[in-house]
Structure 1
Amino acid sequence: MSPAKPETRKGCVRAPHFDILWLPRAAIKSVEGDPSDCVVVVGVSRPKMALTVLTIMLLSLFLTFHLIYDSALYSLHAKNVEHPRPPILLLSRRLYPSAASRLPQAIIMGVRKCGTRALLEMLYLHPMIQKAAGEVHFFDRDDNYYKGLEWYRMQMPRSYPGQITIEKSPSYFVTPEVPERIRAMNASVKLLLIVREPVTRAISDYTQLRANAATASPSMSTSPTKSFEQLALFSNGSINEAYRPLAISLYHNYMHRWLEVFPREQILIVNGDLLIEDPVSQLQKIERFLGLEPRISTENFYFNETKGFYCLRNETSDRCLRETKGRKHPRVDALVVSRLRKYYGEHNQRFYELVGEDLGWPEE
């Protein structure tokens, strides 16, 4: 006996790819007042297609959930980190590593009183840079260095992959063991050396040393501090080459050690005098050196008339460096300044030859 053909009901449309079975009203318990003329039982005639549709729906829900989760995670992190990494699709913890302390990929190695702190704070304006909070002094102090790289890493800020971690310790430049120690950590590390006109740097160094001595020993008021001129020159007028602030300004004496360990292209010379006058030009040069997308512009700075130098600005706040930065220098006899510049003339030329760059410092 051939199976009965399904009854065709007026107004009922059979959807493609689906089997429709009409059941007589007597076969079910109809609800009182229900106007339905028929009850439909639907079956899928193409299970592969149905499985595909179901898979797409589940995958869409899965991706939506992860996008919501990732956005929430980013929002929480943004409250604690000034420069969070933009969120990406979170498919697993392995594909989305969390922020972690990492060894620095770049180091500001000096020079003291040339603007290392200002440089670090300015670079921190870039969203792909994270900075150490203070001077770590890992490579120049044996008691820290022998604590090991894991201790050093834990002194670094938390960062995301792709961000560059930077620390600065000005005494790295003048400490003999440091170049080899840094290379042992990372032979491809990028090094930033910020320098200023040598006499200006020496006077700034003297100013800080005098301020520190006055703070540490208030009784010094009964024993007047020697002037810069008295410390820089002997009574017969010759240069006191042993005076530490003058010795540090002999950049070539220290630079040759670094070039024996690192290729020149791994060291960027930053002009500290230009960083004060036109910070953006120097920072853009550093962005290129570090392989970063240009993000720092003139909009990130404003000139503070009271302090006499540029302060920093980002999307949320304006800020200047501490009061100890940009101290007013004492007035130094012009003849002493001229004599010192002549003294540094030959030494500057030796530094220019080492780095392959003429910084144009005055020689009188």
Structure 2
Amino acid sequence: MSKLPKIVLLACCVIAAVYFLLSLVGQIQVSISSDETSEIQHKIVYKTESEKAFPRAKLTANAQRGKCKKQLPQAIIAGHLKSGTGALVEFLNEHPQISSSNIRTDVQFFNKFYVSRGIRWYQSIMPCTFKNQITIEKTAQYFSYPKVAERIRTINTTTKIIIILKDPVKVAVSLYAMWREHKSNHAHEYTFERMISKTNGTTFEIDPNSKIIKLCSYVQNMKQWLQVFERTQVLILDGNSFDDHPAGTLKDVEKFLNVKHFFDTDHFVFNSTKGKYCFRRWNGKVRCLPEGKGRPHPKLNANVIQTLTDYYKPMKKILFKVINQTLW
């Protein structure tokens, strides 16, 4: 037999082996991409009806190429305290086109670390995202901090702002419960009634200078935000409605952020123990909010609740006029 066919056969085997090794290297390069890319690839696989309709090809291709980068947030959840910001950012982070900062608690950059840590630190804690994804961050304290809106606009004039507000009476009670558990602001030393009232010793009268009362008086803070940002850049959400119907609220956010529709009612499972909704992923696993959410609130006298309601009633009317929107 001539040696030529053997040489040709050997060459073919070598070529096939090289091709196999090159394809294997390509697979390894995809598998060793950044943690953020792995998380994005994890988020791309979905099974529900709405998820099947979601156009994922572009995300998948980008993830395989590994061309993600850390970028400043295009949207910021700016508050308010005890109004559902934690649940909002956790749910939004399940959307394949949305990714939140790597710090899972309040970032507090614009109110606390703006000067000391600087913009490079802020960008470093953001996730690695692609061109067709949106980076978001959440800090509930931003809403009531005077300089935050201007600082955000200085960095990016096109930033979209999301503010979620609950009925101030509910927020006041929830704030007290959180402070009491954390033993902060003297809440563990005094009753709720004592924390919000004047100390004349005879009649119950709301103290407008009480920290709880001031934090739940939204009008002045809202005016400051709308003086810095156009109304079209600010999405104001009803926190009470979000508690009861999260899918509907999240659809409003999707539209505001200009991302594809993803959230449906079948994503949410109610936790009767906590009184909060959890998120059900495509594989059936249910992800609930941290243990601190849904803590018990103090039982209050009906007269105290009514006094608070009456106190905030005129402020609510002014707020709704300022934002040209009705809540609660």
TM-score in terms of structure 1 length: 0.73
Q: State the distance in 1 between where 2:117 and 2:38 align.
A: 32
Deviation at 1:101, TM superposition (A): 1.4
Aligned equivalent of 1:139: 110
Corresponding residue number in structure 1 for 2:213: 246
1:277: how far off? Answer: 0.6
> Residue 89 of structure 1: CA displacement?
7.5
Matched residue SS, 2:195: helix
The correspondence of residues 98-247 of structure 1 with structure 2, limited to 5 A, is 98-132=67-101, 133=103, 134-141=105-112, 143-213=113-183, 225-234=189-198, 235=201, 236-247=203-214
Query: Contact between 1:101 and 1:158, CA under 8 Å: does it hold in 2?
Result: yes
Q: Structure 1 residues 293 and 231 mapped into 2: Cα distance closer, same or farther (>3 Å)?
A: same
Counterpart in 2 of 1:83? 43
Tell me what 1:46 maps to: none
Q: Identity of paired residues, percent?
A: 33
Contact 1:70 1:87 in 2 (8 A): no
SS of the aligned residue for 1:302 comes to: strand
1:306 corresponds in structure 2 to 273
Instruction: Verify the 8 A CA contact 1:229 1:333 in the aligned structure 2.
Output: no
Alignment of 1:269-308 (within 5 A): 269-308=236-275
Cα shift readout 1:52-99 (whole Å, capped 9, x = no counterpart): xxxxxxxxxx9x999987766555556444435723289xx9xx5622
Contact in 1 for aligned 2:164/2:237 (Cα 8 Å): yes
Structure 1 262/65 Cα, relative in aligned 2: closer, same or farther at 3 Å?
A: farther
1:357 paired to 2:319: no
Q: Give 1 or 2 for the bigger CA radius of gyration.
A: 1
CA shift at 1:187, angstroms? Answer: 0.6
**Pair 1:106–1:331, CA change in 2 (3 A):** same
| Deviation per residue, 1:166-217 (Å, 9 max, x gap) | 1111111111111110001111111100100000001000000000008x99
Counterpart AA for 2:302: A
Instruction: Name the aligned partner's letter for residue 226 of structure 1.
Output: Y
Q: Which residue of 1 aligns with 2:8?
A: none
Deviations 1:30-64 (CA, angstroms, capped at 9, x unpaired): 97xxxxxxxxxxxxxxxxxxxxxxxxxxxxxx9x9
Residues 104, 167 of structure 1: 8 Å contact kept: yes
Q: 265-274 or 127-136: which moved more?
A: 127-136
Q: 2:291 aligns with which of 298, 320, 323?
A: 323
Question: Is the contact between residue 70 and residue 89 of structure 1 (CA under 8 Å) also seen in structure 2?
Answer: no
Q: Is the CA contact (8 Å cut-off) linking 1:280 and 1:298 kept in structure 2?
A: yes
Structure 2 counterpart of 1:358, which letter? T
Change in 2 beyond 3 A, CA 1:245/1:120: same
Q: Distance in 2 between matches of 1:89 and 1:128?
A: 12
What is the CA–CA distance in structure 1 between the aligned matches of 2:106 and 2:270, rounded to whole Å?
27
How far apart are the structure 1 equivalents of 2:257 and 2:23?
31
Kindly indicate whether the alpha-carbon contact (under 8 Å) linking 1:100 and 1:158 is maintained by their aligned counterparts in 2.
Answer: yes
Report the equivalent of 2:48. none
Task: Measure the CA separation in 2 of the matches of 1:299 and 1:338.
Answer: 37
In 1, the alpha carbon distance for the partners of 2:272 and 2:189 equals 31
Alpha-carbon deviations, 1:95-146, whole Å to 9, x = none? Answer: x5622211000000000111111110011110111111232211101x4434
Contact in 2 for aligned 1:67/1:89 (Cα 8 Å): no
Separation of aligned partners in 2, 1:259 and 1:327? 33
Cα pair distance change 1:337/1:101, threshold 3 Å:
same
Higher helix share: 2
SS of 2:175 mapped into structure 1: helix
Residue 308 (structure 1) shift = 2.2
| CA spacing shift, 1:73–1:299, aligned 2, 3 Å | farther
Contact between 1:125 and 1:296, CA under 8 Å: does it hold in 2? Answer: no
Over aligned residues, Cα RMSD in angstroms?
A: 2.9
> Match of 2:295, as an amino acid?
R
The letter for the 1-side match of 2:241 is: L
Asked if residue 335 in structure 1 is aligned to residue 303 in structure 2, the reply is: yes
